[in-house]
Structure 1
Amino acid sequence: MSTIKIIPLGGVRENGKNMYAVEVDEDIFVLDCGLMYPETELLGIDVVIPDFSYLEENRNRVTGVFLTHGHEDAIGALPYFLQKFDVPVFGTELTIAFAKLFVEKDSQVSTFDDYHIIDENTEIEFGDVIASFFRTTHTIPDSVGIALKTTEGSIVYTGDFKFDQSAKPMYQSNLSRIADIGKDNVLALLSDSSEAESPVENISDLKVAEEVLDTFQNANGRIIVASVASNILRIQQVLDAAQKSHKKIFITGSNLEKIVQIAMQLNKLQLPSEDLIVPVADIEKYDDQQIVVLETGATGEPIKTLSRMAKGKHTQVNIKEGDLVYIVTSPSTAMEVTVAQTENLIYRAGGTVKHISDNLKASGHATPNDLKLMINLIKPTYFIPVQGQYRMLSAHAKLAHEVGMSYKNIFIPGKGDIMEYKNNRMHVAGQVTVGNTMVDGIGIGDIGNIVLRDRKLLSEDGIFVAVVTINRRKSKIISGPEVMTRGFVYVKDNTDLVNQSNEIIRKVVEENLSRKEFEWSRLKQEIRDALNKHLFEQTRRRPVILPIIMETSSRNRRN
């Protein structure tokens, strides 16, 4: 009898950063390895990745990484993971190709080559565990779910999915395969919850393609299409619509060009005609009515690039009077404020904005009816909603209950929760320590809460610097205090405040110099405390206070 543990290391009670550890006796199977784009308050942070600490403590037990699809929320953290672990990576042809694209950008792991391409017919034995896969429908081809068959039953993870009866063959779910898995004792189902609380069901992608074509045919000027780089389905719809409406495609950004090139080489993206895509350098040779600019951001999110275009700071294409900006993706919730600000900039530049979601529900994630169908097909004993904020997980739990599952067999996990199956029962058996690892530039995990707090304070109330030079031997101030501020007050207009602050600093320094025992740390802390109280009383602001105390000696030096 095997002991089984399921531990979400990311992807629950948040959007993105999917990573789930499934332990079967001594083996650990890692399902997905994704990143998350930062929320607004994470100032300066590029991306957020899972905390690998628990896996590092058990590195000899990690069997491999199993990827469901080629989006950043499933593969984006792989370069950082491979810096710490030398284990095989399993995924479909396109997923592995995109994973390599991510990994090869990182010089530390660019030579990694332990990739294994799988498909829905693949079965891999790992002792008593058999890993197999099933085709799912998503906004990228080659998406799969994962089934780990154990002696106690299968652990099934859907990855991102939806059901669409009119999906093209490359995107179709294999319903018979899913049903077969459900006939063979599924112990637990981990299922995508991103759209569990949606009041509207998804429209078919056939209708989405018609909407894109209609928009293209009715546009009077240039069309700037903003899409996530790896949303291959949407890019295909844009290419098809451009061909049918007699327009040309101009791609901005090398990242998108590489993704399109890889997808076409693997026949996952079909180019309707050889002359459809034109180099962006030739854009001035065409009339505005012929132009479709396809753009994404460097990290896959297109909104920040649109902002540069609206400000006239893009190196290739800028928004002008008469342009239609067509946003064909659903930006993450972390980008909502940025989206609103960017739309304002676009209108000021003379353009207009249209969202594909204005007229229809076009998500790559399953809505309630699809979610209930998946549960009915898989027939799990235990159900674990994943991939989404708590309210989404809770809504998914209610859907599971609606189709007959008992709440005692439904677990709404937090990051690090251990759901253990032992002695014929699953229960929460404690937690492992799991946090967020923040990536800022080349720094990985070196930004903590204190640094983020200081960045927030700096962005809101600025910095207040106090400089004093002292001679400890003579117990006197040699020069200063001198005050400098940035983002707090304009010094020339607040001379009274500055003079009062100088007196406070002088008094604190002199008191410390008069003591028999002089401590640098105590002097700086007392300056901070005294200034913090005074500045808050006078301004109701709390700037970051930085005391700089320098020491000099009066002894003459001979050359």
Structure 2
Amino acid sequence: MLQNLKVIPFGGVRENGKNMYAVEVEDEIYIFDCGLMYPENELLGIDVVIPDYSYLTENIDKVVGIFLTHGHADAIGALPYFLADHPVPVFGSELTIALAKITVAGEKKTKKFKDFHVIDEKTAIDFNHATVSFFKTTHSIPGSLGVDLKTEAGHIVYTGDFKFDQAAKPMFQTDYGRLADIGRDHTIMLLSDSANAESPYVNSSQRDIASYITETFKYHPGRIIVASVASNIERMQQIFDSAAKTGRRVILTGQDLEKIVKTALNLKYLTLPEPDLLVQLKDLKTLKPEQTIILETGRMGEPLKSLERMATNNHRTLHIKEGDLVFITTTPSHAMETTVAKTRDLIYRAGGTVKAISDDLHSSGHANKTDLQLMLNLLRPDNLMPIQGEYRLLEAHTHIAEETGLPLDHIFVTKSGDVVQYHQGEFSLGAAVNAGDTMIDGKGVGDIGNIVLRDRRLLADDGIFIAVVTIDRRKKKIVAKPKLTSRGFVYVKANRDLMAESASIIVKAIENNLAHKEFDWNNLKQDVREDLSKYLFDQTKRHPVILPVIMEVNQNRHR
């Protein structure tokens, strides 16, 4: 009889992206996905966010492997950081593993990692306490799989990102029969995608989207800049097909996109309808505007920031000009609505126009209400853990599941680090483990915390105020008067009185400290900060970051 069975989300709940879930069965841990999240605006300067998996680090000897559902960044993006310290086996479909290899090879510490294993929907892997198998799902990328973990108590199923499309092409089709078979064999827990749970609309079929793209290419008389996500292979194929039908050539921008397209072409997941369809950036000068498609995906697959740079003449190679159409073929999350509106405005200012698929069609790679209920009815789980979405989406999924007859106390809306444990046939919340965000800034992994972010916000809001003073501690006097510098706080020349009074306050604070027998550098700097901060706030109602630089000289010392 099972003594230990736990399900633990380390990301992907109450947020967009950063999918990482662990199932602990006795002394074995199975990791589902290892993804990242792109930062929101308040995370100043942060490149990406990955899960805090310190619990897995502490129990790494129990981890049997990482099982990937698909090749998007929200499922594979954190692999280089995890594998750098914990080189465990990685399992995924052919394309997923090919994209994972590109991701891992991009980091110095994981460049030589080789423990990849290609599996498919027919694969079953026996471990000591469970069997892992897979089933085909429909998503915006080929090779998308769900994971079925069969334990002594029953099946634990992780859908990954999915939707149902009755008109999907063979490589994207869901295996309905396999889902029904799992459902007949007792599913005790379902971890199911919630990213589109609020949408009551039926997702447009990919055939309709393909026709929409072709029509757009056909009727725009000038150059078209297509914004897409690099790893949306299905969208790439539609763009290539539509370009060929309308006599246009496609220019790929960025190394990330070129690597992904090349990999998909080599594995036959992408095909070129014409051998000369793809052209180089240098050919842009010789192409007529009506023959040109520029495919822009941006760094790490996010196109919006690249479009902003194009519109403001800050892009390294391309600028939006009069007559350009920017065609946004991805559906941004609700969290990005402000960014999208700002980007649209910048494009119009630059002389371009904007069209987005989401304006006219309901295009999503994720399940809507009807799809979620179909998944529940196929698998008939005893319990549900809504995942992959902000809190309101997890709640929406909860109500959807209740409509199918699943009791509310069998639905677990969790946060990162929650432990849902199984005992005597029932799941319940146990003691949580440490989990949260690990922020990546350049080469720094996890060295940016709340204090650093707070300082960055202060610098962005109120600037910095630097005071440099030289003292002779033995003679207990100030040798050189304070030199004050302000950046992003006030314009010095227009605030001479403020600066003069600030210098007086600094002198007074230092003289008070020098007069004490017990001299302490930390106390000195702290007094300067506090006195100066109080004065500056009284005068300006602002809190700049105050940086006192106190230097010491000994005037009796001879060289």
CA distance in structure 1 between the partners assigned to 2:207 and 2:331 by the alignment: 18
Q: What letter matches 2:30 in structure 1?
A: F
Q: What letter matches 2:282 in structure 1?
A: A
Alpha-carbon displacement from aligned partner over 1:432-456 (angstroms, at most 9, x marks no partner): 0112000000000000000000000
Partner of 2:277: 276
Alpha-carbon displacement from aligned partner over 1:36-92 (angstroms, at most 9, x marks no partner): 000100000000001120001101000000000000000000000101112110000
1:40–1:334 Cα contact (<8 Å) kept: no
Partner of 1:44: 45
Displacement of 1:21 in angstroms is 0.6
Q: Which moved more, 1:55-64 or 1:245-254?
A: 245-254
**Correspondence 1:117 to 2:118:** yes
**Correspondence 1:82 to 2:95:** no
Displacement of 1:210 in angstroms is 1.2
Displacement of 1:467 in angstroms is 1.2
2:180–2:379 Cα contact (<8 Å) kept: yes
Partner of 2:216: 215
Q: TM-score, normalised by structure 2?
A: 0.99
Partner of 2:399: 398
CA distance in structure 2 between the partners assigned to 1:67 and 1:500 by the alignment: 62
Alpha-carbon displacement from aligned partner over 1:361-381 (angstroms, at most 9, x marks no partner): 100000100000000001001
Partner of 2:312: 311
2:28–2:129 Cα contact (<8 Å) kept: no
Partner of 1:226: 227
Partner of 1:444: 445
Q: Which moved more, 1:430-439 or 1:301-310?
A: 301-310
2:34–2:74 Cα contact (<8 Å) kept: yes
CA distance in structure 2 between the partners assigned to 1:322 and 1:232 by the alignment: 28
Alpha-carbon displacement from aligned partner over 1:216-242 (angstroms, at most 9, x marks no partner): 111110000000100111111111111
**What SS is found at the alignment partner of 2:457?**
helix
Partner of 2:290: 289
Partner of 1:386: 387
CA distance in structure 2 between the partners assigned to 1:501 and 1:199 by the alignment: 60
CA distance in structure 2 between the partners assigned to 1:334 and 1:476 by the alignment: 56
**What SS is found at the alignment partner of 2:278?**
coil
Displacement of 1:311 in angstroms is 2.1
Displacement of 1:335 in angstroms is 3.7
CA distance in structure 2 between the partners assigned to 1:496 and 1:325 by the alignment: 51
Q: What letter matches 1:174 in structure 2?
A: D
Partner of 1:533: 534
**Correspondence 1:414 to 2:412:** no
CA distance in structure 1 between the partners assigned to 2:335 and 2:380 by the alignment: 34
Question: Is there any run of 5+ residues in structure 2 with no aligned partner, and where?
Answer: none
**What SS is found at the alignment partner of 1:83?**
helix
Give the direction of change, closer, same or farther, for the CA distance of 1:26–1:367 in structure 2 (3 Å limit): same
Alpha-carbon displacement from aligned partner over 1:108-159 (angstroms, at most 9, x marks no partner): 1111111110100000000131100000000000000000000000000000
Displacement of 1:339 in angstroms is 2.5
CA distance in structure 2 between the partners assigned to 1:313 and 1:496 by the alignment: 39
Partner of 1:264: 265
CA distance in structure 1 between the partners assigned to 2:331 and 2:198 by the alignment: 16
Q: What letter matches 1:389 in structure 2?
A: E
Q: What letter matches 1:394 in structure 2?
A: E
1:252–1:316 Cα contact (<8 Å) kept: no
Alpha-carbon displacement from aligned partner over 1:186-219 (angstroms, at most 9, x marks no partner): 0100000001112323111111111111111111
**What SS is found at the alignment partner of 1:74?**
helix
Partner of 1:206: 207
Q: What letter matches 1:328 in structure 2?
A: T
CA distance in structure 2 between the partners assigned to 1:51 and 1:557 by the alignment: 55
1:249–1:293 Cα contact (<8 Å) kept: yes
**What SS is found at the alignment partner of 2:132?**
strand
**Correspondence 1:18 to 2:13:** no
Alpha-carbon displacement from aligned partner over 1:235-262 (angstroms, at most 9, x marks no partner): 1111111111111111111211111010
**Stretches of 4+ aligned residues off by more than 6 angstroms:** none
Displacement of 1:359 in angstroms is 0.3
**Correspondence 1:427 to 2:440:** no
CA distance in structure 2 between the partners assigned to 1:463 and 1:337 by the alignment: 28
2:196–2:366 Cα contact (<8 Å) kept: yes
Q: What letter matches 2:285 in structure 1?
A: E
CA distance in structure 2 between the partners assigned to 1:454 and 1:128 by the alignment: 48
Partner of 2:482: 481
1:153–1:185 Cα contact (<8 Å) kept: yes
Q: What letter matches 1:198 in structure 2?
A: S
CA distance in structure 1 between the partners assigned to 2:253 and 2:543 by the alignment: 43
CA distance in structure 2 between the partners assigned to 1:31 and 1:266 by the alignment: 24
1:40–1:335 Cα contact (<8 Å) kept: no
CA distance in structure 1 between the partners assigned to 2:24 and 2:200 by the alignment: 36
Q: What letter matches 1:185 in structure 2?
A: H
Alignment: residue pair count: 558
Partner of 2:172: 171
Partner of 1:61: 62
Q: What letter matches 2:83 in structure 1?
A: L
**What SS is found at the alignment partner of 1:299?**
helix
State percent identity of aligned pairs: 57
2:376–2:401 Cα contact (<8 Å) kept: yes
Displacement of 1:333 in angstroms is 4.5
Q: What letter matches 2:92 in structure 1?
A: G
**What SS is found at the alignment partner of 2:466?**
strand
Matches within 5 A, 1:360-379: 360-379=361-380
Displacement of 1:341 in angstroms is 2.5
Partner of 2:558: 557
Q: What letter matches 1:170 in structure 2?
A: M
**What SS is found at the alignment partner of 1:457?**
helix
CA distance in structure 1 between the partners assigned to 2:419 and 2:162 by the alignment: 25
**Correspondence 1:351 to 2:352:** yes
CA distance in structure 2 between the partners assigned to 1:534 and 1:8 by the alignment: 48
**What SS is found at the alignment partner of 1:304?**
helix
2:26–2:129 Cα contact (<8 Å) kept: no
Partner of 2:100: 99
1:38–1:334 Cα contact (<8 Å) kept: no
Q: Which moved more, 1:313-322 or 1:40-49?
A: 313-322
Displacement of 1:474 in angstroms is 0.8
Q: What letter matches 1:160 in structure 2?
A: D
Q: What letter matches 1:479 in structure 2?
A: A
Partner of 2:245: 244
Partner of 2:196: 195
Partner of 1:133: 134
Displacement of 1:175 in angstroms is 0.7
CA distance in structure 1 between the partners assigned to 2:288 and 2:450 by the alignment: 52
Alpha-carbon displacement from aligned partner over 1:494-531 (angstroms, at most 9, x marks no partner): 01111111111111111111011111111111111111
**What SS is found at the alignment partner of 2:431?**
strand
CA distance in structure 2 between the partners assigned to 1:333 and 1:216 by the alignment: 27
Displacement of 1:308 in angstroms is 1.8
Alpha-carbon displacement from aligned partner over 1:147-182 (angstroms, at most 9, x marks no partner): 000000000000000000011111111111111111
**What SS is found at the alignment partner of 2:290?**
helix
